């Protein structure tokens, strides 16, 4: 069966953001499904089926956060799980404004909040601090990781500049609203997998101690003669990621059988220009590059993707797809690019292992792929998050931070 995809995606949605040049028409784009948050919140069965399909096929989808005049939806009588897409969109706009102030701070001020030396990944990461490949190529972004448990008051406050400290209530509200979305998505996947009700919810409690965080990313325009990746190919290592951006640049490697939406105007004057796709600056072959498709930002929508933990729990029934970030195509290459990400991860003590004993669907998949007797490499979530997040800041640990041991998690073959 062909993967769930929407080849007519752009016939139905507006993709232009105020004050930004339109997304280039000259590049191939990903035919991701658009899922309605409102329908999911109301228990719409066919929307849940679309979510299930796309999480197995590609593990990436758009979530339409707009909920019209309906107001928040109470999904299970628990106030903190209330679904309010409109509030998230409003808070997202305020956090995008905040990013301009955060990144306008002097570099010497920002680096005071880099806590890598203490083994802590919350705080500031400066340009080039992460390694993208085995050759030691450096990233081209700066970002701030803001801890969920910190802003909710569950743990000691992390050191942060005033510009962030003053916005703790905004972060707390954004985290609470966004966590409710990830809880709903995981609840649907939990039930579709046939797991004991509440299994994923118990491992991802709002106040549970975990590596959950908001990441605020800034990528300045790259020099016209040196435009390339700002973040190399990777999979996310947590459970569910919620992303907002306005400027293009995110690409996913399409799974087998999923074809990109072709460029609608190859002569668009805002053509892609000279972008070097490979991390060492050499040209990638046309065949290699044809596997990649841009994820076009859509107003009112988040891009959601699953991370390695969901693939690990489901033994590959659910897909954690490879993606990367490149200099924005066309006229957007000259824009400042900001992204707002919320990462959920299993709580620190949760063991990352497959749930074959708890789910017939997962066990069937293990049998089908000849892995029912395979000995697993089991980490706790804390071990895994530390290894993956800090490992990329040092060449000696890079090769352990996501390479071969996790290759089996990246396949996500559909049952």
* Complex with Fe ion: residue 132 or 366, whichever CB lies closer: 132
CB of 48 to Fe ion, least distance (A): 25
Rounded distance between C-alpha atoms, residue 305 and residue 232, angstroms: 17
CB of 5 to Fe ion, least distance (A): 21
Rounded distance between C-alpha atoms, residue 147 and residue 85, angstroms: 21
* Complex with Fe ion: residue 206 or 325, whichever CB lies closer: 325
Rounded distance between C-alpha atoms, residue 402 and residue 233, angstroms: 11
* Complex with Fe ion: residue 212 or 236, whichever CB lies closer: 236
Phi then psi for residue 195, to 5 deg, are -80, 160
Sign of the four-CA dihedral 336, 97, 93, 51: positive
* Complex with Fe ion: residue 6 or 236, whichever CB lies closer: 236
| DSSP, residue by residue, 79-148 | GGG-B-HHHHHHHHHHHHHHHHHHHTS-HHHHGGG--GGGT--SEEE-TT-SB-STT-PBP--EEEEEEH
CB of 234 to Fe ion, least distance (A): 6
* Complex with Fe ion: residue 335 or 341, whichever CB lies closer: 341
CB of 220 to Fe ion, least distance (A): 19
Token duo for residue 163:
């510009």
Locus of tokens 């081209």: 140
CB of 375 to Fe ion, least distance (A): 29
* Complex with Fe ion: residue 67 or 296, whichever CB lies closer: 296
Sign of the four-CA dihedral 319, 320, 321, 327: positive
Site residues (CB under 5 A) for Fe ion? 236
- Which conformational region is residue 234 in: left (phi greater than 0), alpha (psi within -120 to 50 degrees), or beta? beta
CB of 236 to Fe ion, least distance (A): 4
* Complex with Fe ion: residue 48 or 237, whichever CB lies closer: 237
The answer to whether 322 and 410 have CB atoms below 8 angstroms apart is: yes
Token duo for residue 386:
């530390």
Report the residue number whose CB is nearest to Fe ion: 236
CB of 10 to Fe ion, least distance (A): 23
Residue 155 makes CB contacts below 8 A (sequence gap 6+) with: 147, 149, 209
Rounded distance between C-alpha atoms, residue 324 and residue 306, angstroms: 15
* Complex with Fe ion: residue 173 or 381, whichever CB lies closer: 381
CB of 38 to Fe ion, least distance (A): 26
């Amino acid at each position: 069966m062909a993967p769930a995809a929407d080849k007519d995606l752009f016939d139905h949605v507006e993709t232009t953001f105020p004050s930004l040049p339109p997304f280039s028409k000259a590049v191939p784009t990903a035919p991701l499904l658009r899922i309605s948050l409102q329908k999911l919140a109301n228990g719409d069965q066919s929307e849940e089926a679309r979510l299930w399909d796309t999480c197995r096929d590609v593990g990436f989808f758009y979530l339409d956060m707009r909920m019209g005049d309906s107001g928040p939806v109470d999904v299970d009588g628990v106030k903190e799980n209330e679904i309010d897409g409109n509030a998230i969109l409003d808070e997202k706009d305020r956090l995008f404004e905040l990013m301009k102030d955060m990144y306008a701070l002097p570099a010497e001020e920002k680096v005071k909040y880099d806590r890598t030396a203490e083994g802590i990944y919350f705080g500031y990461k400066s340009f080039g601090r992460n390694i993208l490949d085995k050759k030691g190529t450096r990233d081209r972004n700066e970002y701030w990781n803001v801890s969920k448990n910190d802003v909710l008051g569950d743990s000691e406050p992390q050191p942060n500049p005033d510009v962030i400290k003053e916005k703790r209530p905004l972060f707390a509200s954004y985290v609470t609203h966004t966590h409710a979305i990830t809880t709903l998505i995981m609840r649907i996947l939990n039930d579709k997998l046939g797991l004991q009700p509440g299994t994923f919810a118990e491992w991802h409690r709002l106040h549970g101690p975990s590596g959950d965080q908001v990441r605020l990313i800034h990528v300045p325009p790259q020099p016209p003669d040196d435009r390339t990746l700002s973040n190399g190919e990777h999979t996310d290592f947590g459970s569910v990621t919620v992303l907002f951006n306005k400027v293009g640049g995110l690409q996913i490697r399409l799974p087998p059988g999923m074809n990109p939406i072709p460029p609608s105007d190859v002569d668009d004057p805002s053509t892609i220009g000279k972008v070097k796709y490979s991390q060492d600056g050499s040209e990638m072959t046309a065949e290699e590059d044809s596997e990649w498709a841009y994820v076009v930002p859509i107003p009112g929508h988040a891009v959601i993707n699953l991370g390695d933990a969901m693939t690990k729990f489901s033994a590959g029934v659910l897909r954690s797809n490879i993606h990367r970030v490149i200099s924005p195509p066309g006229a957007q290459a000259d824009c400042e690019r900001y992204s707002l990400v919320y990462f959920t991860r299993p709580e620190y003590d949760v063991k990352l292992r497959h749930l074959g004993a708890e789910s017939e669907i997962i066990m069937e998949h293990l049998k089908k792929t000849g892995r029912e007797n395979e000995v697993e490499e089991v980490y706790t979530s804390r071990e895994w998050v530390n290894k993956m997040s800090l490992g990329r800041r040092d060449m000696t640990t890079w090769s352990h931070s996501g390479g071969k041991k996790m290759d089996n998690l990246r396949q996500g073959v559909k049952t």
